[in-house]
Amino acid sequence: MAESGEAPRTVILTVDDDPGVSRAVARDLRRRYGGSHRVVRAETASAALEALQEMKLRGDLVAVIVADYRMPQMNGIEFLERAMDVFPGARRVLLTAYADTGAAIDAINLVDLDHYLLKPWDPPEEKLYPVVDDLLDSWLASDHRPVPETKVVGHRWSAHSSEVREFLARNQVPYRWYPSDEPEGQRLLAAAGEDGLRLPLVITPDGRVLVEPDARELAGRVGLATAPSAEFYDLIVVGGGPAGLGAAVYGASEGLRTVLVERTATGGQAGQSSRIENYLGFPDGVSGAQLTDRARRQAARFGAEMLTAREVVGLEVNGPSRAVRFADGSAIAAHTVILATGVTYRQLDAPGVAGLTGRGVFYGAALTEAAGCAGKDVYVVGGANSAGQAAVHLAKGARSVTILVRADDLTRSMSHYLVQQIAELPSVTVRARTEVARAHGSDHLERLTLRDTVTGATEEVDAQWLFVFIGAAPLTGWLEGVVVRDERGFVVAGPDLAPGGEPPKGWPLDRVPYHLETSVPGVFVAGDARSESAKRVASAVGEGAMAVMLVHRYLERL
């Protein structure tokens, strides 16, 4: 392995088993970037991995990794997959011959590949440098600094411990989990001067100790933005799911001063999905976390401001200004607002469930809990896509997965491709016309009573894990009395407000509402929170983009 001189800490790594190609790509990279980056060259994947480990220990920053596809022992895709574990933020490029472009395209999903380059790349001024320039800009715009892991000490069956882990995971904050009854967890508790009666305990990378933190305190201490930088914006987006992220990307990219406010973590329900396989442009599927991360980075790159762990509790109209009020009493205002609050899963109304929530009963995918299900019997309640995706994901490690649905089968509400996948998994069973009648357990879920919805017959089964995906309740209660909602709480907009082509009662303008505009001019709705929406990721993203177009139309007439 050869390196350029002393150079800065930021590294561009290139690996190719052909010495001639290896020298050529390193030479071209040094010619352009040698003054600002250290170019490291390796001729085997194993040597490159060793170099990455050494740089990790030294605290170096790796911005771009360029790997050849055809290498012995370990090909470029396998190498990049392992390199992701060491430097997940580094931008990844695959060097490939024309005959291997299919493999390169597959790698886009497999290792979240940023780009692939065909060999030869002459002239580099046209084929190499523009690509690397864009990747370096993207890397610089991200939070690329190495962040020491946050430590979380908690009890395995503590609902609050589960909430903290889920919050960190969904916000992609690196952390390590230490059970409070194991030696290392006990050592950390002792070092913090705690006896373990108050859990979870969080130790931030700078050594600060948080005991039983709420989401906002935790967010502020692990580097997530919680306070707005201004009092007035062009656009406030409420909600960070696909619709909200789509609106933030298009709003900020088109020059609007945009702030996105999210009460928990960006991504919404889609962000918790283990695999979305019917989203356009991802033939092999994409995880909700990957899609969310890309969208969040994209929005940030365009200048959108994102606030986490801020709950919006009110919407106010003050002349041409629209303000959103937070739970702590503070507020921010803007010319326009896009409501992208999405939906939440309905609570399972069965005795015993509420007291065991977070202690074996989980709503949604509960990303941090999947590993604990290995070799266990798992139950999933729900018959829509989110339940199906979770069942397929859990089946990879669980001994068995049982899907409980009240309907006759899954075809009523689940996409055909998922129904087919589930039918081919021997460890997954579908129990139709079945519901949870009761949950049993002391400190965690131990058993379930299941009931046949036709005959009323009951059966008790052993269970430690229950994941619930039932219904969709809109998060719009805070809009009561401000915007028109339907009987289920979804926001009514556009033509549904003016079915006869006439402005709705109380509408103050001489035009009918725009397509996604609510009963308050300048306030729009996008995604699952809208009445009669499609409840799909692609349509939510599209509505977020369309809402921004209508925001521009509204602003032009102010």
Residue 428, strand partner residues:
401
Residues with Cβ < 8 Å from 500, sequence gap 6 or more? none
Q: Given this model, what pLDDT does residue 440 score?
A: 98
Question: Model confidence over 20-73: pLDDT tens digits?
Answer: 999 999 999 999 999 899 999 999 999 999 898 888 756 688 999 999 988 888
Residue type, 406: R
Containing 541, the helix (H) or strand (E) segment is: helix 537-556
Task: Give the Cα separation of 531 and 492 in Å (integer).
Answer: 5
Name the one residue in this structure whose structure tokens are 């690996």.
15
Average pLDDT, the chain: 90
Backbone angles phi, psi at 32, to 5 degrees: -95, -35
- Strand bridging mode 175-179 / 209-211: unpaired
Q: What is the pLDDT of residues 454-482, one digit of tens each?
A: 999 999 999 999 999 997 889 999 999 99
Please give the DSSP secondary-structure letter assigned to residue 367.
G
CA distances from 504 to 200, 492, 518, 525 (A): 51, 11, 10, 17
Q: Tell me the one-letter amino acid at 160.
A: H
- 214: alpha, beta or left? (left if phi > 0; alpha if psi -120 to 50): beta
For the stretch 314-356, pLDDT in tens is 999 999 999 999 999 999 999 999 999 999 989 999 999 999 9
* Structural domains of the chain in order of their starting residue, each with its CATH number: 2-141 (3.40.50.2300), 150-221 (3.40.30.10), 232-344+473-556 (3.50.50.60), 353-468 (3.50.50.60)
**How far apart (Å, rounded) are the C-alpha atoms in residues 231 and 200?**
34
End-to-end Cα separation, the chain, in angstroms:
62
For range 138-145, the mean pLDDT: 76
Confidence of residue 498 (pLDDT cuts 50, 70, 90): confident
Is 12 a residue whose pLDDT tops 90? yes
Distance of CA 106 to the CA centre of its chain: 22
Of the two residues 124 and 107, the one the predictor is more confident about is 124
